[in-house]
Amino acid sequence: MDIGQLLLGRPLRKRDAGHEEIGSTEGLAALSLDALSSVAYGPEAIAFVLITAGLGAMHYLLPISLALIGLLLLLVLSYSQVIDAYPAGGGAYAVSRANLGTNVSQVAAAALVVDYTLTVAISISAGVEALTSAFPAARPWALVICLAVLAVVTLMNLRGVGESARAFLLPTLVFIVGLLALMAWGFVHPMAPAIHPLPAAQPVPLFFLLTAFAAGCTALTGVEAIANGVPLFREPRQLRAKRTEWLLGGILALMLLGLAVLTIRFSVAPGGAQTMLSKVMVAAVGHSWGYYVVALAITVVLALAANTSFGGLPLLSSILARDGYLPHVFAMRGDRLVFSPGIYVLAAAAALLLIASGGNTQALIPLFAIGVFTGFTLSQTGMVVHWCHARPPHWALRAGLNGLGALATGVATLLFVITKFTEGAWVVVVIIPLLVVLFRGIHRYYDRVNAVLVPGHIPGPVEARPRPMIVVPIEPHLSELTRRALDHALSLSDDVVAVAILLDPESDDDPTEASLRQAWTDWAPPVRLEIIQSEYHSVIRPMIQFIDGLSPKAQQRRVVLIPEFVPDSAYGELLHNQIGTMLASALRRRTDVMIALVPMHVHQEFVPAPAHDAENGT
């Protein structure tokens, strides 16, 4: 408890949760880091495909990047329209639920879950690769650093991150300005004599280029985030959000273009202990302080990009839980007002991915982009339906634009699945339907529960049952525990029976039926005693048999009152035999038994029973 508070901070009152509203530049920091930081791994994913056809094929990096920039502009245009249509935040789940029905929206939700999880794993591993490129000595510890970063991000999110956008602003600006400046310097400065130009490009098959293009689609992940986060912006919201979306598109396009040109200019090839981006940066400015500043900014921005998913997935899963597609616990906020269960699950899944991939970004790339692009496709398709239904001015043009976006991203999704299927994409192709099956199973369960409970309706009449019959399981050694239990039982009803289970005596200290009966007679409480000689070496089994065997009339009004000794510490819990707990959980499985627990503590002082007073006595 105390350690938890030390790490996570004291519980927050709800009024502590202020709403900060952001402008366009802050929006870039808060919502577009996932997209911008993709330059750290997207172009490298293209190059990893190209290099298999020889160094000369690296020339194709430029046309492929241009094609990606074309797709990017189409996406930015499409999402500007989403911002227009869904000022309350138009995530793929919300848009497809509104326009395409619950079945399709479940697919969108599953795709988003996969996407958020992979974003965390890939961003962190890419960030650590940027770090180990700059500081090769840290390379053997890459996976450990990945997990440490994940732990820090998780912990910060469990605390609840306040004022995030403003805190993110500085590293975001250093990253954008630094990287662009560094690229600009790379264009103008004279070439180092050691750099030989790439060999001339040989013709390659179209399918090969499509494979490289599909791999590059990972660079476009995250452009949807601004459209999801419209409510975070200051008024005029939609205008500011759209401005941020175009700003993001422009910067990302510039970075992709610059990186492609410089890679070719400096004849950089992927592979080895350094990322391609790091090699380009070194070729441009050497191991100068500028290099280190930008490298660190890349690491921080990637970690912050992972952080964005920690905002997104728990929120999405709380919405899914409210819609009955995930366990209700995902809709519960923790003491720090965050949706803790979603955070825990995301952290665990990302840790698994990092460990399974050994912290290697390129091993995770084949799994990425499918979820994102499925989301793109569904949300654009939903927009087409939206325009056709709503029919505002220029609806046909708008529908056409979104339709083009849906087509392009749909083709890209298919291309990605086909070209990366055997490298790992099949995992996602299997997991998304499994998630949908899970969502539906959970929903069916809640439907059944709701059929029994009929929540939200006025229930039937309340009719007090007859006074219950109280069964008090007692230990064969009479003690203060027994006395307290009988005290409490008699306060609930006059119909009380104490039940003792006797095992074969194993030592002379063990009570026999006769000795227990004698002790009871000496004590003379106003309660009937039943003694059962157990056929088994268990007290639970005969106790349950006794309770099940009560007369049909008593069946309707059984209360089993379990005296429980509650230790002060978890250490103490181990020292008690848990028979009470075992009995209670066996009884929970039965219909129409009320279980009453009477806890008693080691340090408890003896509390004398107060005298009867007038108010009592039905």
- Indicate which single residue of 192, 390, 479, 528 sits in contact with a second copy (rule: CB under 8 A): 479
Q: Report 458-477 residues binding a second copy (CB under 8 A).
A: 458-460, 462-468, 475, 477
Which is closer to a second copy, CB of 166 or CB of 477?
477
Which is closer to a second copy, CB of 70 or CB of 572?
572
- Min dist CB 207 to a second copy, Å, is 45
Q: Rounded CA gap, 518 and 236, in Å?
A: 85
- Would you state the structure tokens that stand for residue 317, as one six-digit string? 């899963």
Q: Rounded CA gap, 114 and 357, in Å?
A: 16
User: Parallel, antiparallel, or unpaired for β 469-474 and 593-601?
Assistant: unpaired
Contact between 12 and a second copy (CB under 8 A)?
Answer: yes
Q: Report the 10 Å Cβ neighbour count for 410.
A: 17
Site string for a second copy, 274-313 (x = CB under 8 A): ----------------------------------------
User: Parallel, antiparallel, or unpaired for β 558-566 and 469-474?
Assistant: parallel
Q: Rounded CA gap, 587 and 565, in Å?
A: 18
Contact between 20 and a second copy (CB under 8 A)?
Answer: no
Which is closer to a second copy, CB of 238 or CB of 493?
493
Which is closer to a second copy, CB of 418 or CB of 566?
566
Kindly state the DSSP code that residue 22 receives in the 8-state scheme.
B
Which residue is it, tokens 């103490």? 572
Which is closer to a second copy, CB of 188 or CB of 462?
462
Task: Find, among 118, 120, 142, 141, the residue nearest to 129 by Cα.
Answer: 142
Which is closer to a second copy, CB of 163 or CB of 522?
522
Q: Report 482-501 residues binding a second copy (CB under 8 A).
A: 482-483, 486-488, 490-495
Contacts 24+ apart (CB under 8 A), 275-282: 275/40, 275/41, 275/44, 275/126, 275/129, 275/130, 275/133, 276/43, 276/44, 276/47, 277/39, 277/40, 277/43, 277/44, 277/130, 277/133, 278/130, 278/133, 278/134, 279/133, 280/186, 281/182
- Indicate which single residue of 88, 456, 508, 549 sits in contact with a second copy (rule: CB under 8 A): 456
Q: Report 378-437 residues binding a second copy (CB under 8 A).
A: none
Contact between 19 and a second copy (CB under 8 A)?
Answer: no
Q: Rounded CA gap, 445 and 107, in Å?
A: 19
- Indicate which single residue of 327, 403, 410, 424 sits in contact with a second copy (rule: CB under 8 A): 327
Q: Report the 10 Å Cβ neighbour count for 581.
A: 14
- Min dist CB 174 to a second copy, Å, is 35
Kindly state the DSSP code that residue 54 receives in the 8-state scheme.
-
Q: Report the 10 Å Cβ neighbour count for 266.
A: 20
Contact between 446 and a second copy (CB under 8 A)?
Answer: yes
Which is closer to a second copy, CB of 279 or CB of 557?
557
Torsion angle, alpha carbons of 519, 523, 527, 528, to 10: 20
- Min dist CB 264 to a second copy, Å, is 52
Q: Rounded CA gap, 527 and 115, in Å?
A: 64
- Indicate which single residue of 170, 273, 355, 449 sits in contact with a second copy (rule: CB under 8 A): 449
Q: Rounded CA gap, 311 and 172, in Å?
A: 18
- Min dist CB 5 to a second copy, Å, is 13
Contact between 345 and a second copy (CB under 8 A)?
Answer: no
- Min dist CB 103 to a second copy, Å, is 21
- Indicate which single residue of 424, 538, 545, 550 sits in contact with a second copy (rule: CB under 8 A): 538
- Min dist CB 534 to a second copy, Å, is 7
Which is closer to a second copy, CB of 52 or CB of 450?
450
Q: Report 89-128 residues binding a second copy (CB under 8 A).
A: none
Q: Report 549-578 residues binding a second copy (CB under 8 A).
A: 553, 556-557, 559, 564-566, 572, 574-578
DSSP structure string for 89-141: ---HHHHHHHHHHHHHHHHHHHHHHHHHHHHHHHHHHHHHHHHHHH-GGGGGG
Q: Report the 10 Å Cβ neighbour count for 268.
A: 23
Which is closer to a second copy, CB of 98 or CB of 143?
98
Q: Rounded CA gap, 602 and 396, in Å?
A: 76
Which is closer to a second copy, CB of 56 or CB of 87?
87
- Min dist CB 21 to a second copy, Å, is 19
Contact indicator for 283, 262 with CB cutoff of 8 Å: yes
Q: Rounded CA gap, 390 and 568, in Å?
A: 64
Kindly state the DSSP code that residue 562 receives in the 8-state scheme.
E
Contact between 317 and a second copy (CB under 8 A)?
Answer: no
- Min dist CB 584 to a second copy, Å, is 7
Q: Report 576-605 residues binding a second copy (CB under 8 A).
A: 576-578, 584, 587-602, 604
- Min dist CB 2 to a second copy, Å, is 15
- Indicate which single residue of 448, 505, 530, 548 sits in contact with a second copy (rule: CB under 8 A): 448
Kindly state the DSSP code that residue 271 receives in the 8-state scheme.
-
Q: Rounded CA gap, 616 and 26, in Å?
A: 64
- Min dist CB 439 to a second copy, Å, is 12
Q: Report 511-530 residues binding a second copy (CB under 8 A).
A: 511, 519, 522-523, 525-527
Q: Report the 10 Å Cβ neighbour count for 11.
A: 11
- Min dist CB 427 to a second copy, Å, is 24
Q: Report the 10 Å Cβ neighbour count for 348.
A: 13
Q: Rounded CA gap, 363 and 382, in Å?
A: 32
Which is closer to a second copy, CB of 69 or CB of 478?
478
Contact between 334 and a second copy (CB under 8 A)?
Answer: yes
Which is closer to a second copy, CB of 422 or CB of 569?
569
Which is closer to a second copy, CB of 202 or CB of 556?
556
Amino acid at 129: E
- Min dist CB 4 to a second copy, Å, is 14
Number of residues counted as binding a second copy (CB under 8 A): 110
